[in-house]
Amino acid sequence: RYVALTEGTLGSEQGPTTEDVVKHSIGKVWVEDHHEWACDISGNETAAFIRPGGDSCSFVPETCREAITSYRAVDWKSIKTGKDAINVTRLELTPHTGRGHQLRLHMASIGHPIVGDDMHGTAAAVRNDAESVISIPGDGSRLCLHASKLSMDAWCASADETSDGFQICRVDVESCPPF
């Protein structure tokens, strides 16, 4: 599970918690002299989304793969960006597939890029001062995406004292986001 701050208000502060799923395949596109990850917003590999307002480009053949992300809006705030303020939504994101830039592309493709995303979003720098409602670590220009819970299977010593072998056990690691 990941936590992210996304630009704009997703859902409603007065309404129930907003939950939804984004299902856009992700593949590679050729841009100038290099490949970039893009999201298939058309569903038939004809419209590659890289960033808001970006040029249309074609997918490299046979690179699109299914990508699914579920999200849940949990909080809404206003943060300073230079002289202005922007509304942000705190989301819990769960990737059901593991594609390059999946969370960043999926959030940007629905019009809510992750704060600080200079590749797939608007990269609005956040001002950290006494007037800010929310604090972003460092100079405020970091990507506001944080792995809050990771789970994996690992080999561990058997708890059974009569056995000197190993068994597979589930390891869960949790971490609070710094924003």
For residue 29, pLDDT beyond 90: yes
Task: Summarize pLDDT for 39-94 with one digit per residue, the tens.
Answer: 999 889 888 998 888 777 889 999 999 999 999 998 888 877 667 788 889 999 99
On whether the CB atoms of residues 28 and 59 are closer than 8 A, the answer is yes
- The whole-number pLDDT of residue 173 equals 94
What is the C-alpha separation between 107 and 156, in angstroms, rounded? 37
For residue 140, pLDDT beyond 70: no
- By residue count, the chain amounts to 179
Q: Where are the beta strands (DSSP E) in 32-158?
A: 34-40, 48-49, 68-81, 84-95, 145-147, 149-157
Q: Rounded mean pLDDT of 1-9?
A: 93
On whether the CB atoms of residues 20 and 89 are closer than 8 A, the answer is no
- The whole-number pLDDT of residue 130 equals 47
What is the C-alpha separation between 70 and 68, in angstroms, rounded? 7
Main-chain phi, psi angles of 163, to 5 degrees: -115, 140
Query: Any idea what the Cα angle at residue 126 is, between residues 121 and 130, rounded to 5°?
Result: 160
DSSP string, 144-173: -EEE-EEEEEEEEE-S-TT---EEEEEEEE
Task: Summarize pLDDT for 94-124 with one digit per residue, the tens.
Answer: 999 999 999 999 999 999 999 888 888 876 5
Query: Any idea what the Cα angle at residue 40 is, between residues 38 and 46, rounded to 5°?
Result: 110
Q: Rounded mean pLDDT of 129-150?
A: 70
* Closest listed residue to residue 54, CA positions, set 122, 142, 143: 122
Please enumerate in sequence order all residues whose Cβ is within 8 A of that of 151, keeping only pairs 6 or more positions apart, or say none: 170, 171, 172, 173
Question: Helix (H, G, I), strand (E, B), or coil: what is residue 33?
Answer: coil
Question: Helix (H, G, I), strand (E, B), or coil: what is residue 103?
Answer: helix
Tokens of 119: 């590749």
